Amino acid sequence: MKLILLVGLFVFSAQSQFPSAAAGSVTICEHGTMKISCDKSTEIHITDASYGRQDGAETCPHPSIRHKTYDCHAESSEHVLMEACEGKSACLVDAKNGVFGDPCPGIFKYLRVSYQCIEPTIKSETVCEHKRMNIACGDYKKIKIEGARYGRTDNRETCPHPSVTSKTYDCRAASSDRVLFEACEGKSRCHVDATNGVFGDPCPGLFKYLRVAYRCVVPPPKSKTVCEHQRMDIHCGESKKIIIESASYGRNDGETCPHVSIKTNNCHAESSERMVSDACDGKSQCHLAASNSVFGDPCGGTFKYLRVKHRCF
């Protein structure tokens, strides 16, 4: 397990319908839908958002824009983006008056958002002996245990008790990390009893506590592959929506979908992500045909496949 130091605590072991950017700033014109996505288990942190217009006709030109500079901003902008995107791996937001209100009637507007993809913060929980620890990361994230200690490393500050004198202790159950990993790692929520029966007794007669450091991390995207002429079905259930992270119709190896007709292992249809995003983003389920008639033929005479990575949010 990765070792980290918790100071003062303990040592632990061409524009699509949904344009997106890896990080930084992204803009979508009024009536469009913005997609923001982070990868590698990072999460979205909104740094700025504005629905309105702060220039002339440079951004999202439209007949309603006259030759002057506008200063029009919906006060709800950051709140809407925080509610929809903050702390998630991906999100969709409609650039519409129905979502933000109309800060300047009659003027064609746009939504501009700045964001970062950041590592989830480390959280710490402590419960006294004989109590139960509950850890929850919500429906879209999974628990990653960074370290655990059942025992005691201080005097009376944490979980005071008559058995604790004024001296400093260094008492830790060797099973601490293993118990938390088995009970919680990769789950959305878990509970662990801080008892000798669960961890063993590393210091008999001394009142102990359980302290755990963890992150709520974004699980990796799901990946699906189907061979040419087959259909791909993506389902997220009725309560969740699909966000496409990547898509490729073509071929980049010789092992996937083996066939007698393979002339190249380096071909990719440029329309792949646009076509798949338009068909699937924001829906609870979608169906895709892996065929030249949908994506075009990036390598004639080569048997291809469709590979898609997606998240449910």
pLDDT at residue 288 in the model: 97
Q: Would you place residue 23 in the very low, low, confident or very high pLDDT band (cuts 50, 70, 90)?
A: low
Instruction: Kindly report, residue by residue over 253-306, the tens digit of the pLDDT.
Output: 999 999 999 999 999 999 999 999 999 999 999 999 999 999 999 999 999 999
Instruction: Kindly report, residue by residue over 75-119, the tens digit of the pLDDT.
Output: 999 999 999 999 888 899 999 999 999 999 999 999 999 999 998
Residue keyed to tokens 């065929």: 291
- Structural domains in the chain plus CATH codes: 15-118 (2.60.120.740), 121-217 (2.60.120.740), 222-312 (2.60.120.740)
> 115 forms bridges with which residues in the sheet?
24, 46
pLDDT at 121 over 50: yes
Q: Which whole number is the average pLDDT over 162-169?
A: 82
Question: Any idea how long the chain is?
Answer: 313
Give the integer Cα–Cα distance in Å for 131 and 121.
25
Give the integer Cα–Cα distance in Å for 91 and 81.
9
pTM for this structure? 0.70
Q: Which whole number is the average pLDDT over 115-134?
A: 95
pLDDT at residue 37 in the model: 87
Return the amino acid letter for 225.
T
Instruction: Kindly report, residue by residue over 174-207, the tens digit of the pLDDT.
Output: 999 999 999 999 999 999 999 999 999 999 999 9
SS3 letters across the chain: CCCEEECCCEEECCCCCCCCCCCEEEEEECCCEEEEECCCCCEEEEEEEEEEECCCCCCCCCCCCCCCCCCEECCCHHHHHHHHHCCCCEEEEECCHHHHCCCCCCCCCEEEEEEEEECCCCEEEEEECCCEEEEECCCCCEEEEEEEEEEECCCCCCCCCCCCCCCCCCEECCCHHHHHHHHHCCCCEEEEECCHHHHCCCCCCCCCEEEEEEEEECCCCEEEEEECCCEEEEECCCCCCEEEEEEEEEECCCCCCCCCCCCCCCEECCCHHHHHHHHHCCCCEEEEECCHHHHCCCCCCCCCEEEEEEEEC
% pLDDT > 70, the chain: 93
pLDDT at 18 over 70: no
Instruction: Kindly report, residue by residue over 57-72, the tens digit of the pLDDT.
Output: 899 999 999 878 889 9
Q: Which whole number is the average pLDDT over 207-221?
A: 93
Terminal alpha carbon distance of the chain: 29
Instruction: Of 209, 212, 196, 243, give the one whose Cα is nearest residue 122.
Output: 212
